[in-house]
Chains A and B, each alone.
Chain A
């Protein structure tokens, strides 16, 4: 009963390096989301995918790209990491109805030096 699985759990990058955060869900959900969580700012939506094959920008998409590889997987890529991207990143998924609750992964703690 895995739910939403994120990898890696921790990552340290140097400025300018790239990496991909992986997310997979086993609940057959249509919608998937990437959030970042920063102290005092709450969770902010980076990108979302309402269904397989579609992606859209959220509040803070600059510096990120996403891929909805299939219904299960939704990855987040940082092409050239910056210190401002130091944060905790959460992936979430939900069913098709807007009254379906969101299910979150345990997060990836990213530090960019």
Chain B
């Protein structure tokens, strides 16, 4: 059974720091891994999607890496800002059966960036 773990569960850092969020998964047979951001009382916003054949994806100050063999992904946030405060979730997408698949989510890292 695929399990997805995110460590740490919560993180508080001063503005300007570079930081790394971790995601690990037990089954390497995945199609891709997605990182999401969730603001309080809101839905999830897709940040980055890394296909199984890729090693990393970048968007602005965000960089996500994927190491399938070790079952790990990291989300790197450069020069953090108070507006980055949110919960960050990772999810792996894997096959359920022919022509169907599902996302399996971690429980998230709650990030607070203080001025």
Contacts and interface: CB of A to CB of B under 8 A. Distances in A.
Given A99-B51, A106-B43, A45 B103 contact: yes
Interface residues of A, number: 23
13 contacts: A42-B105, A42-B106, A43-B44, A45-B102, A45-B103, A50-B99, A50-B100, A56-B100, A92-B44, A99-B31, A101-B34, A104-B45, A107-B43
A32 to B, nearest CB: 12
A53 interface: no
Interface of B: 4, 31-32, 34, 36, 41-46, 49, 51, 89, 91, 93, 95, 99-103, 105-108
Nearest to A4: B43
A73 to B, nearest CB: 17
Chain B interface, DSSP helix/strand/loop, else mixed = strand
A89 to B, nearest CB: 11
Contact of B46 (A41, A44, A102): A102
A42 B107 contact: yes
Q: Which 4 A-B pairs have the closest CB atoms?
A: A104-B43, A101-B46, A43-B105, A42-B107
